[in-house]
């Protein structure tokens, strides 16, 4: 099983989760983070660290967020690994809990 970064991370990209990951399984895109499903050890340390509650266990993904399981796997193969905390995007607070952010995902 793996953890999955879901839609609310788009245009927020807080990296508190990266700092606590013992296996460095986060990957960074322009405005979103993903978890590599083959590297995640299901330790659950990242989930409570996300200030916008965008990380879920794959079997607890909210309805309508299932596409993010595939997106995390796909984009983790393309994006660079991130291992240290960085500042969130400048307008992250404005984007928290905005619905329909998938169209704003930059690959």
Q: Length of the chain, please?
A: 107
Neighbours of 53 (CB within 10 A): 14
CA–CA separation, 49 vs 46, rounded Å?
5
Distance CA 31, CA 63 (A): 22
Cα–Cα dist 101/78, whole Å = 21
pLDDT in tens, 27-69: 999 999 999 999 999 999 999 999 999 999 999 999 999 999 9
pLDDT in tens, 31-40: 999 999 999 9
Structure pTM?
A: 0.97
H helix or E strand, kind and range, residue 26: strand 26-28
User: What structural domains does the chain harbor?
Assistant: 3-83 (3.30.70.20)
- Point out which residues pair with 4 in neighbouring strands: 56
């Amino acid at each position: 099983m793996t953890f999955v970064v879901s839609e609310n991370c788009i245009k927020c990209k807080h990296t508190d989760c990266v700092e606590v990951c013992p296996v460095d399984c986060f990957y960074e895109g322009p405005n979103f983070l993903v978890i590599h499903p083959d590297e995640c050890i299901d330790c659950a340390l990242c989930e409570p660290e996300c200030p916008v509650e965008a990380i879920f266990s794959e079997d607890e993904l909210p309805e309508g967020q299932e596409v993010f399981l595939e997106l995390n796997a796909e984009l983790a193969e393309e994006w660079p690994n991130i291992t240290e905390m960085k500042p969130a995007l400048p307008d992250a607070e404005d984007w928290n809990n905005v619905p329909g952010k998938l169209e704003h995902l930059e690959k």
